[in-house]
Amino acid sequence: MSKGKWRTIVPRKIVPTKIDIAWSAGFIEGDGHIGRNKTTSDIEVTQKNICVLLKLQFLWGGSLGKIHKQGFTRNRTYFKWRVSGPSARRMALSMRRYLSPVKQLQVDFCLGKVTRAKYLRKREKI
């Protein structure tokens, strides 16, 4: 998998409404990833259609890029939106109440409210 060029990070332009937050939560619930590495929190979505990702970028800021994946029969281009750091934590906290228990646990892990070990134990029970 080779990565394409990433567009410049765009700061968010507006304050999302409750409807925007609920829509974002529903989209992240289905196609998104909420995570954390050693240094920062991040939320990302990969899609074939860039339009939805442009709306997420408009609402929450972040970066947008192309990913080229090679399949058995043809090459495919996907788009990936990513927000990280304080913007990702702000988004995760805003969306938390609209998410399923599994995604809420991911948000808690992203925000540093649960340790990795506790996150893995709880995830097995859900």
Q: Residue 43's domain spans which residues?
A: 2-125
Strands 32-36 and 41-47: antiparallel
Q: Is the pLDDT of residue 8 over 80?
A: no
pLDDT-derived band at 66, boundaries 50, 70, 90: confident
* Count of the separate structural domains present in the chain: 1
Using DSSP's 3-state secondary structure scheme, residue 17 falls into: coil
Start-to-end C-alpha separation, the chain: 32
Question: Tens of pLDDT along 87-101?
Answer: 999 999 999 999 999
pTM of the model: 0.79
- Name residue, tokens 């937050």: 21
CATH of the domain at 67: 3.10.28.10
